[in-house]
């Protein structure tokens, strides 16, 4: 069986690496043959909305999935009529539009920060008058890794933010004073079986995930997060891996955004869970029995940005594993990640501190 993946980035590469032991083969669509997926499968060169490239993918693949959200909805709706396409197109469309995403949270009674749609400069003024300062102005589309958003702390910020974000359709969101950020990863088969991973704590710098620790142990929050993600997956008739990112405020969760795919905050599951998010995504879209999601211990994941540490230094840390994506170095570019698995949280955090020093960063107090 052959799986087609739109996008041949590191996520697509890791999906293929998880699928090969199951006897599967992979083919990608990407604009460059130098993408990481080319190390493990054929790349059909073309943009994500290139009809010829997508037609070829549909011809070669038994099922098609994706490793990135910015896949044009109209283009994939066409191929979804000819080949099994999972997660479903409607879920992809919801995640691509922050307004649709927020409205879905509200409709499903999943707590989320107050928000208002902003289509014009005048609408922005009205929204600011209602939500006040501080607040966050976000483009409705193409926002990730800190892109597509500006903080509004005072009236003087409004004009600059409106212009900087390109005067496109946006939402204004009330700023949330939060204790930390966590994410939950769930996986669902078309037949309805669902498994959830432990909550993971995520630390960001400049809008980019710096490191993750799992499990984040809070039984009440875990139960709430599982309830919300199950509700969302059922609503979307979902198949595959889905992630919800939350703000933690006291004993409450506030949903920030979703990702309808394998997620950076779940890389710890490769060594830190019985079955990785990547293998479970493959199992789910093929409607195979899902793997166990329980933790193997206490795990951490460090994103390697801009430059790679020395391999020998990483591997000298007990329980550490290196994942090199084979990319050319570039400032703030995700070149790889390190994971660490330990028996206890204290031992894990000592190793995490060493990994972060190698990456030129430190644990946030």
Q: Strand pairing partners for 133?
A: none
Q: Identify the CATH number of the domain in which residue 31 sits.
A: 3.40.50.20
For the chain, the domain total comes to: 3
Residue 293: pLDDT above 70?
yes
Quote the pLDDT of residue 276: 98
CA distances from 47 to 5, 51, 75 (A): 13, 9, 11
Residues 165 and 191 in one domain: no
Token pair recorded at residue 334: 């995700």
Residue 364: pLDDT above 90?
no
Reported as a pLDDT band with limits 50, 70 and 90, residue 242 is very high
Print the domain residue range for 164. Answer: 114-174
Q: 296: how many CB neighbours lie within 10 A of its CB? A: 14
Q: Percentage of the chain with pLDDT > 70? A: 99
d(CA 217, CA 279): 24
Residues 304 and 250 in one domain: yes
Quote the pLDDT of residue 144: 65
CA distances from 305 to 35, 143, 360 (A): 17, 19, 9
Residues 201 and 296 in one domain: yes
CA-closest candidate to residue 50, choices 31, 26, 77, 65: 31
Over residues 38-91, the pLDDT tens digits come to 999 999 999 999 999 999 999 999 999 999 988 888 889 989 999 999 999 999
Residues 170 and 38 in one domain: no
Token pair recorded at residue 90: 């409607």
pTM strictly above 0.85 = yes
**Averaged pLDDT for residues 11-29:** 98
Residues 194 and 329 in one domain: yes
d(CA 317, CA 332): 24
**Averaged pLDDT for residues 186-205:** 97
Average pLDDT over the chain reads 95
Phi, psi of 168 (to 5 degrees): -95, 170
Residue 304: pLDDT above 90?
yes
Residues comprising the chain, all counted: 365
**Phi-psi label, residue 258: left if phi above 0, alpha if psi -120 to 50, beta otherwise:** beta
Over residues 97-153, the pLDDT tens digits come to 999 999 999 999 999 999 999 999 999 999 999 999 999 999 998 766 567 889 999
Quote the pLDDT of residue 145: 59
Residues 192 and 167 in one domain: no
Residue 354: pLDDT above 70?
yes
Whether residue 137 contacts residue 149, with contact meaning beta carbons closer than 8 Å, is answered with yes
- Residue 31 forms part of a structural domain: yes
CA-closest candidate to residue 285, choices 342, 239, 316, 325: 239
Token pair recorded at residue 318: 């007990």
Quote the pLDDT of residue 70: 85
Token pair recorded at residue 275: 């079955």
Residue 365: pLDDT above 80?
no
């Amino acid at each position: 069986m052959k799986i087609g993946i739109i996008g041949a980035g590191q996520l697509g590469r890791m999906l293929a690496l998880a699928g090969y032991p199951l006897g599967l083969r992979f083919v990608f669509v990407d604009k460059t043959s130098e993408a990481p997926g080319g190390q493990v499968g054929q790349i059909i060169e073309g943009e994500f909305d290139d009809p010829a490239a997508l037609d070829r993918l549909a011809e070669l693949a038994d099922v098609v999935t994706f490793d990135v959200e910015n896949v044009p909805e109209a283009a994939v709706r066409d191929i979804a009529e000819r080949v099994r396409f999972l997660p479903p197109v409607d879920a992809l469309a919801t995640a691509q539009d922050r307004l649709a995403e927020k409205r879905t949270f509200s409709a499903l009674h999943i707590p989320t920060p107050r928000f208002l749609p902003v289509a014009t400069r005048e609408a922005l003024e009205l929204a600011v008058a209602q939500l006040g300062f501080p607040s966050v102005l976000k483009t409705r589309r193409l926002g990730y890794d800190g892109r597509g958003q500006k903080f509004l702390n005072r009236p003087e910020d409004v004009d600059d933010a409106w212009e900087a974000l390109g005067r496109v359709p946006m939402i204004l969101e009330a700023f949330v004073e939060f204790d930390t950020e966590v994410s939950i990863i769930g996986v669902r088969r078309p037949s309805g079986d669902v498994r959830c991973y432990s909550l993971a704590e995520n630390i960001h710098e400049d809008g980019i995930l710096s490191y993750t620790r799992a499990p984040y142990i809070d039984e009440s929050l875990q139960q709430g997060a599982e309830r919300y993600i199950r509700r969302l997956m059922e609503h979307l008739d979902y198949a595959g891996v889905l992630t919800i990112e939350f703000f933690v405020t006291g004993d409450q969760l506030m949903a920030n955004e979703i990702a309808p795919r394998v997620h950076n905050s779940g890389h710890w599951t490769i060594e830190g869970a019985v079955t990785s998010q990547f293998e479970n995504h493959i199992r789910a879209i093929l409607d195979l029995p899902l793997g166990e999601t329980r933790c193997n211990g206490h795990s951490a994941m460090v994103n390697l940005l801009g430059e790679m540490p020395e391999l020998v230094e990483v591997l000298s840390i007990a329980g550490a594993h290196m994942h090199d994506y084979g990319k050319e170095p570039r400032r703030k570019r995700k070149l790889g990640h390190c994971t660490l698995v330990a028996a206890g949280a204290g031992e894990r955090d000592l190793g995490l501190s060493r990994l972060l020093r190698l990456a030129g960063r430190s644990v946030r107090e």
